[in-house]
Structure 1
Amino acid sequence: MHKMVFTTALLMGFAGLSPLAKAQSSDIGAHLYMDYCAACHGESGKGDGDMANLMTIAPPNLTLLAKNNDGVFPMLKVIHIIDGRTGMRAHGGPMPVFGKAFMSTEPGPANPYGSILESRGRVMSVAYYLETIQAE
């Protein structure tokens, strides 16, 4: 329950960001997407990455997320898939969980929440980027 409240608060905080802050988040998300997601989902997000033909379950076309959800980008669902809370299956096993991959390697007593917040910020940045590549 605590995680859901925190995620909701985080989403509300991002929703109130200025357009410039959202653009910066999307730019960061684009770089993260290219580093972590494009190999499977393709540079354009259409599921045609270099690794796609090696997978037993084809990666979805990420540009159709809003279209397949009555025209509304499913932000919370996307966040849960990226950070691993949904148990999404791919290539015969779980999709890589990027919530942990995005955590800082230097957590410590002076910054006990920094690693978690950094990870969630990166997940949000990728989700905001995905929102920008939705097909009309």
Structure 2
Amino acid sequence: MTKEIKTEILINARPESIWEILTAFDQYPNWNPFIKSISGDQTVGTKLVVRVEPPEAKGMTFRPRVLAFEPNKEFRWIGHLLFSGLFDGEHKFELIDHGNGTTTFIQSENFKGILVSLFAKQLDNNTKRGFMEMNVKLKARAERS
């Protein structure tokens, strides 16, 4: 089973400003209502420690591996519940530069594994809401800078 959640928001800021916020992991607790913390090296192939707390759902801490880290464009990781194939999530932040001082921020996650169907309702509700809440806070923070 596979499932994708995808959200996007137009931000009145350049990609560099948004990227600076996204990669300042130590500041996440100050503004991010969904991803409460990220620690670790952003180098491709390394592992991060990520804490997510979707609205009205139990939070979880996991250790995803960085798949892509392209400044001002894309940050992507993959995490697994217990082991690969059970419940895997490939999370992606993408910045689309419109060349006019605005940027579309896309946050998405592709889920795969035998347990995805058990979590589908929570993903559609709580997790997607968490994405949208984070997007709104990121926009506000970037536009304030």
TM-score (norm 2): 0.32
Q: Which structure has more strand as a fraction of its residues?
A: 2
TM-score (norm 1): 0.33
Q: Which structure has more helix as a fraction of its residues?
A: 1
